[in-house]
Amino acid sequence: MEEKEITVNVKKYNEKDGVFWKSYRVKADRYTQMTEVLRRIKTEQDPALSYRASCHMAVCGSCSMKINGIPSLACKTMAFKVMDEKGEINLESMDYYTEVRDLIPDVDTFYDRMYKVMPRLYADEEVIEDKEEQRMLPEEQKEVWKFQGCIYCGLCVSACPSVKEDEKFLGPAAHAKGYRYIADDRDTKREERIDMLMDSAWRCTSCYMCYEVCPQDVQPVIAIKKTRSHLDDYRGPETDVITMARKHDNAILELINDTGKIKESSLYLKTFGFGEAIKDSINMLKSGKIKYAFTKDSDVKNIDEVKKIMGDKK
């Protein structure tokens, strides 16, 4: 098999020396995973290089890091696919988490987010006492499994802009986990879960970074949207975010009913109010994006049919 020598630049860190970059030349072929590249560096060149790795098949979530700036699992990344034309690859510790050593960040904050959402099934007493067998339809299993696929790798949280800005936002992975139990009919705490997750769910900006970086295609942002759809069942405190959410929901309903469309500028006004809209208009003016606020939408033709459907919904 054809081998090539590649250059791996690693952003290293330790308490004594602080941050510094170190380069290694390693032989690889088209089947060489980045975890194997790291293993070769460690056993043959620099035994002091520190990183996490376990299963090397993308199910354990250990080897999360930035590869050429992109949050990735090292095991799922093939060296030849990511090297540039000079054969170079850059490795760094994940964003957001505190650096501890080389490619090993402190991810305890990630685990704490997961623990907050009661990540376990609370089955019916009859089932626990073995008096009754649980049934679960295949479609429901598919939905649960989709969001249970999270491997705790922490990449989505490291890539999420909202967790950095908003400490009340639980983050993408915790929402996927939380929704996984809402979707599970075997669980007895759905109301409690909806109350616990709803405020946070509306703090997501729907930027889809989590969707992009998730190595398991869990799609946390979709879990967040699905959680939001339970807004009418929410019984918790009326926080500012919840108030905004209700306005947003109502505005969408009204807009579709009246115009057959989600008119973005009207939706914005109805959700956030005039004051907030003025502030953001100034920001849009500054960034040259104000023209989008005045984009003219065409009208929907058969609006009566839309109203009929909406009437049925109500």
Return residues touching other proteins (CB under 8 A): 1, 14-16, 30-31, 33, 35-36, 39, 42-44, 47-62, 76, 78, 100-102, 104, 106, 111, 115, 118-121, 123, 127-128, 130, 133-138, 140-141, 144-145, 148-149, 151-152, 181, 184, 186-187
> Judged by CB, which is closer to other proteins: 133, or 232?
133
SS3 101: strand
SS3 67: strand
* Signed CA dihedral, 119, 125, 126, 130: sign only: positive
Q: For residues 145 and 122, what is the distance between their CA atoms, to the nearest angstrom?
A: 17
> Judged by CB, which is closer to other proteins: 92, or 102?
102
Shortest distance (Å) from residue 89 CB to other proteins: 17
Q: For residues 174 and 169, what is the distance between their CA atoms, to the nearest angstrom?
A: 10
**Planar angle of CA 232, 279, 163, nearest 5 degrees:** 55
Q: For residues 106 and 91, what is the distance between their CA atoms, to the nearest angstrom?
A: 17
C-beta separation of 50 from 78 below 8 A: no
Shortest distance (Å) from residue 96 CB to other proteins: 17
Count CA atoms within 13 Å of residue 268 on its CB side: 13
> Judged by CB, which is closer to other proteins: 138, or 275?
138
Shortest distance (Å) from residue 48 CB to other proteins: 4
> Judged by CB, which is closer to other proteins: 179, or 181?
181
> Judged by CB, which is closer to other proteins: 135, or 291?
135
Shortest distance (Å) from residue 115 CB to other proteins: 6
Q: For residues 109 and 101, what is the distance between their CA atoms, to the nearest angstrom?
A: 17
Q: Please, what's the largest Cα pairwise distance for the chain?
A: 73
Q: For residues 172 and 107, what is the distance between their CA atoms, to the nearest angstrom?
A: 15
> Judged by CB, which is closer to other proteins: 36, or 92?
36
> Judged by CB, which is closer to other proteins: 30, or 279?
30
Edge to edge, the sheet with strand 4-14 lists 18-28, 4-14, 88-92, 64-67, 70-73
Shortest distance (Å) from residue 44 CB to other proteins: 7
Shortest distance (Å) from residue 226 CB to other proteins: 16
C-beta separation of 65 from 93 below 8 A: yes
Shortest distance (Å) from residue 57 CB to other proteins: 5
